[in-house]
Amino acid sequence: MSLLILENVTKRFGGLVAVDQVSLEIKHGEFVGIVGPNGSGKTTLFNVINGVFFPEEGRVIFEGLDITTLPPYKRAPLGIGRTFQIPRPFASATVRENVAVGAMFGTLSGKVNVDESLEIADQTIERVGLKEHRNKQAGTLTPVEKKLMEIARALAMKPKLLLMDEAMAGMHPNDIDQMVAFIKQVAEEDKIAIVAMVEHIMRAVVGMAEKVIVLHQGAKLVDAPTKEALEDPKVVEVYLGRPSEK
Amino acid sequence: MKKESTKYYPLIPVFAAYLVLFLIGRNVPGMWQLVAMLLFYCALGQAFNIFLGMTGYVDFGYVAFMGVGTYGMALAITKLAHIEGLGIAIIIIGFVMALFMATLLSLAVGAVALRLRGAYFAIATIGVNEGLRFFIEGARIWNGSEGLIFTAQLNQILGRETASTLMTFWADIMVLIIAVSAAFITLYYIRSKIGYALTALREDEDAAKVMGINVTKYKIIAFVTSACFAGLLGAASWALKTPYVFPPEVFEIHYTIEAIIIVLLGGSGTLLGPVVGGLIYGISKYYLSIFIPGFQLLIFAPIIIIIIVLFPEGVVGMLKNRFKDSALAQFII
Ligand SMILES: Nc1ncnc2c1ncn2[C@@H]1O[C@H](COP(=O)(O)OP(=O)(O)OP(=O)(O)O)[C@@H](O)[C@H]1O
Ligand SMILES: [Mg+2]
C-alpha cells in the first residue's frame, strides 16, 4: 500500500490556481524531492497534505485512509510531520519544550506523558546536534538552529511521512552537505518517507532523492527518478531557465 | 528527572506572599481592608491569567463571568432563604450556582468566539458583559435593573452576628482560598500537557495544530477554568461582601481592564506574575487615591506604561530571565 496518494488535487485562492490537478504517490520510506520555481505551489501542496488547507477538488489518501478534510491536528498523529519554510518555533518555550510538544501530541497513541516526552525530546535534540542549546528559548536560536529544532520537533512525532519545506534555505554549502547526510541517515534509520522541498536543486536533490517531482504554476510537470528528472528538457527549461550545462 | 517535591517549589513565593498579607491584615490594626483589596486583585489576576496569560487571547467581556457568579450566589440566597435549617450550606449552594452559571456562559461564549483569532476574538467579546447587562435589565429577569438585595435573608439564615463576620472577614478568606486554588491549578496546567499545548498555541496556533494539538479543546479548557474562578470570585468578593447585586455594577468593563493590567504588569502566563501584578496595582491604586485623590489616574497610567515598556514580559518574566541559571530559577515560574 502506498503511504500517500494525491488524486487530482486542486487548491485555489480566489482566481489563482495554486495547486492544479496534482496526482502523486509516495511510498513508505521513499525519499522524494520537490522542486519548482517561486510560487509554483510547493508550500501550498504541503499545506494540503497536512491539512492547513482543504483542496477544492481531489482526494488526499494516507495509508488507505481518505484524509482530504481531516483537520491538521488529527493528521499529525497518523504520522505526518512537517517543517516550515520560514521556521515557526514556539518562541518563548525552550528548545526542549518545543521538541517535547512534538512527542506529546504528534504521536499516534496520544498517550505519551510529559516526562516521557521530555526524555524523547532530549534524545532527539542530541541527534540533531542541539544539545547545548536545549534550555535556550527557541526564539533566540539562529535560523539554521531553528531549522534543526524544527526537524527534531517533527522527528519526535515519530512520523511516517516528513514534509520538509525549504529544508536547506539559507544554509552554507558545507552545512547543506551535513544536513543532506543527516536527513538521509534519519530516513533510513527511522524508515520515514521524506518529501523535501529543496532550493539548490542539483546539489541537494542529487545527494538524496530517489525521485523528483517538478511543479510549475501549480501543475506537476515531471515525476521521475532523480537522474531522469534532472535531464528532462522540460525541467531544464522551466526550472533552471537556461540551457543545461551538460 | 525532577524530584516530586521540587515540583511544588514555585508555589512557595506565591503562598509566602499570601501568608504575609494575611498576617499583616490580622495583626496591624486598620489594615484588613487594604489586605482584602489586595487579595481580590491577586485572585482576579490569577483567575484571568489562566486564560489571558496562557493562551494570549484577550477577553474584554471577562467581567461577565464575575457578574454571573455574583448572581449565582445572590439567586441561591434569595430563592432558598425560606427553607428552614439550611444555614451555612446555602453559601455552598451559592458557590455551586456561581460555578454552574460561569461554566454555562463560558461554554456559550467560547463555542462562538473561540473560533475567532486574536483581535477578532477580543472584539467579539467586548459586547458580552454589556449585552448581558442589558438583557437582564431589558428582559426583567432576576429582578431586572432593580437588582437583588439580600442582606435581610443573610441575617435571617445565618444570624446577624455570623452574617456580619461573613461580610467583613470570611468573604475575604474565601477570596484567599480562591486565589490559592487558582495558583494550584495554574501550576498543574503549566506542568501538564495542557500547559504545553497552551504555550504552543499562544506562540503559533497554526504550527500547534500541525503538531497534533487540538487547539480549540485546549482554549476551551483554559477559558472555562478561568471563567469558573471568576464566577467564584464574584460570588465571594461581590455577593458575600456586599449582599446586593445591581447589573451596571457587576458588568462594569473596568474590572476587565484591571485584570488585564495586573496580568501584564506581573508577567503573563507565569505563576507568580499575577500576585506581583495584583500587589503593585492594588498598593499603587490605594495609596495614590489617598495622597492625590482625583489625580491618581494621571500618575497611575504613566507608571503602568513605564513598567510595561521596561519589562515587556512583566516583572516576573524579567525575574525569570534574570535568574534563569541560578538556584532561584526553580522558585520562579
Ligand atoms: N494563503 C494564501 N492566500 C492566497 N494566495 C496564496 C496563499 N498561499 C499561497 N498563495 C499563492 O499560491 C501560489 C503558490 O504559492 P506557494 O507558496 O505554494 O509557492 P511555493 O512554490 O512554495 O513558492 P516559494 O518557492 O516562494 O516558497 C502563489 O502564487 C502564492 O501567492
Ligand atoms: Mg514555499
Nearest CB among A91, A92, A153 relative to B211 is that of A153
d(C-alpha B97, C-alpha B99), whole Å? 5
pLDDT in tens, A42-60: 999 999 999 999 999 999 9
Residues of A in contact with B209 (CB under 8 A): 51-52, 71-73, 76
- B45 near B259, Cβ under 8 Å? yes
The number of the ligand 1 atom at minimal distance from the alpha carbon of A42 is 21
% chain A with pLDDT above 90:
63
**For residue B68, which amino acid is it?**
V
Mean pLDDT for B124-149 is 92
Mutate to test the interface with A, among B202, B211, B215 (most CBs of A within 10 A): B211
* Chains A–B, number of C-beta pairs less than 8 Å apart: 79
Could you tell me the three cell numbers for A169?
534555505
Asked if residue A11 has its Cβ within 6 Å of ligand 1, the reply is no
At residue A109, does pLDDT exceed 90? no
Tell me the backbone φ, ψ of residue A66, rounded to 5 degrees: -75, 110
The number of the ligand 1 atom at minimal distance from the alpha carbon of A19 is 14
How does residue A204 score in pLDDT terms, banded at 50, 70 and 90? low
Pick the ligand that lies closest to the CA of residue A44: 1
% chain B with pLDDT above 70:
99
Domain ranges of chain A: 1-79+197-246
The number of the ligand 1 atom at minimal distance from the alpha carbon of A199 is 25
d(C-alpha B269, C-alpha B45), whole Å? 11
Residue of the nearest CA to atom 2 in ligand 1?
Answer: A13
Asked if residue A41 has its Cβ within 6 Å of ligand 1, the reply is yes
Helical H segments across chain B, by residue range = 11-27, 32-48, 54-55, 63-80, 89-113, 118-139, 151-158, 160-165, 171-191, 193-203, 205-210, 215-233, 247-250, 253-266, 273-291, 296-310, 314-322
Instruction: Go through B128-150 and write b for each residue having 16 or more CB atoms within 10 A of its CB, e for each that does not.
Output: bbbebbeebbeeeebbeeebbeb
Is B146 in the A-facing interface, judged by CB distances under 8 Å?
no
- B268 near B284, Cβ under 8 Å? no
Cα-based torsion angle of the residue sequence B323, B327, B329, B330 in order, rounded to the nearest 10 degrees: -170
pLDDT of residue B131: 93
- A166 near A196, Cβ under 8 Å? no
Residues 6+ apart with CB under 8 A from B135: B141
The answer to whether the CB atoms of A76 and B212 lie below 8 A apart is yes
Instruction: Go through B19-42 and write b for each residue having 16 or more CB atoms within 10 A of its CB, e for each that does not.
Output: eebbeebeeeeeebebbbbbbbbb
**For residue A227, which amino acid is it?**
K
- The phi-psi region of residue B44 (left if phi > 0; otherwise alpha if psi is between -120 and 50; otherwise beta) is alpha
Residue with cell 481580590: B40
Its CATH class, for the domain covering A1-79+197-246, is alpha beta
Kindly report the length of chain A: 246
Is A182 in the B-facing interface, judged by CB distances under 8 Å?
no
Which residue is closest to B188 within chain A, CA to CA? A114
Give distance in angstroms: CA of A159 to centre of ligand 2. Answer: 21
Q: A3-12, A13-22, B38-47, B314-323: which has the minimum mean pLDDT?
A: B314-323
- A179 near A207, Cβ under 8 Å? no
Mean pLDDT for A199-223 is 80
Asked if residue A139 has its Cβ within 6 Å of ligand 1, the reply is no
Give distance in angstroms: CA of B46 to centre of ligand 2. Answer: 42
Mean pLDDT of all residues belonging to chain B: 93
Count of alpha carbons within 13 Å of B291, Cβ hemisphere only?
Answer: 11
Nearest-CA distance from B212 to chain A in Å? Answer: 4
Question: Is A10 strand, coil or helix?
Answer: strand
% chain B with pLDDT above 90:
79
d(C-alpha A102, C-alpha A116), whole Å? 12
Mutate to test the interface with A, among B210, B218, B268, B320 (most CBs of A within 10 A): B210
Which strands form A161-164's sheet, in the order they lie side by side?
A: A80-83, A161-164, A193-197, A31-35, A211-216, A219-225
pLDDT of residue A12: 97
- A33 near A165, Cβ under 8 Å? no
Give distance in angstroms: CA of A43 to centre of ligand 2. Answer: 4
Is A102 in the B-facing interface, judged by CB distances under 8 Å?
yes
In Å, what is the CA distance from B19 to each residue of A79, B26, B272? 50, 11, 14
Mean pLDDT of all residues belonging to chain A: 89
Mean pLDDT for A169-174 is 76
Is B203 in the A-facing interface, judged by CB distances under 8 Å?
yes
Nearest CB among A72, A93, A114 relative to B210 is that of A72
pLDDT in tens, B181-234: 999 999 999 999 999 999 999 999 999 999 999 999 999 999 999 999 999 999
Domain ranges of chain B: 5-331
Residues 6+ apart with CB under 8 A from A83: A147, A150, A151, A153, A154, A162, A163, A164, A165, A167
The answer to whether the CB atoms of B196 and A82 lie below 8 A apart is no
Pick the ligand that lies closest to the CA of residue A199: 1
Residues of B in contact with A84 (CB under 8 A): 207
Asked if residue A86 has its Cβ within 6 Å of ligand 1, the reply is no
Which runs of E-coded beta strand occur in A27-94? 31-35, 57-62, 65-66, 80-83
At residue B146, does pLDDT exceed 70? yes
In Å, what is the CA distance from A26 to each residue of A32, A155, B12? 8, 18, 54
In Å, what is the CA distance from A178 to each residue of A86, A168, A170, A175, B198? 20, 10, 14, 5, 34
How does residue A206 score in pLDDT terms, banded at 50, 70 and 90? low
The answer to whether the CB atoms of B211 and A115 lie below 8 A apart is no
Residues of B in contact with A90 (CB under 8 A): 199-200, 203-204, 207-208
Which residue is closest to B214 within chain A, CA to CA? A73
Could you tell me the three cell numbers for A32?
522524494
The number of the ligand 1 atom at minimal distance from the alpha carbon of A218 is 14
Its CATH class, for the domain covering B5-331, is mainly alpha
Is A92 in the B-facing interface, judged by CB distances under 8 Å?
yes
At residue A5, does pLDDT exceed 90? yes
